[in-house]
Amino acid sequence: MGQAENNKPVLGVIVGNRDFFPDHLAASGRATILKVLEAEGIEVIIVGETQTKNGTIETHDEANIYQQLLIYICEQGFEHHVAVNLNNVSDSVKEAFSKYLGRKVYHHAG
């Protein structure tokens, strides 16, 4: 996690759905995640609730919105490390990060 100017940890959060979960579950899951992180004093960088359906990522175009947030994190000099749990989209994410972004990816499949 990076550190904000106020020395609070900063965490980039993706709530991915790919239209797998009903909208109400995606929205309530997002709200719960944000509430827990706020209670822990963690500042969150996340796609706005109205930028996509329920503030979740379902399409490649919506993933591009989040990509711009990640670029911002890097350009602002935040220390950054990424860990994700994308069990239903992990192959696509690995391909995007390694093939198109040239990033080293460890894909634990098992």
pLDDT tens for each residue of 26-56: 888 889 989 998 898 888 888 888 888 888 8
Closest CA to 18 of 47, 52, 69, 67: 52
DSSP H or E run through 72: helix 60-75
Helix (H, G, I), strand (E, B) or coil at 46: strand
- The domain locations on the chain are 2-84
Taking the whole predicted model, whether its pTM rises above 0.85 is answered as no
Q: What's the confidence (pLDDT) of residue 46? A: 84
Residue-level length of the chain:
110
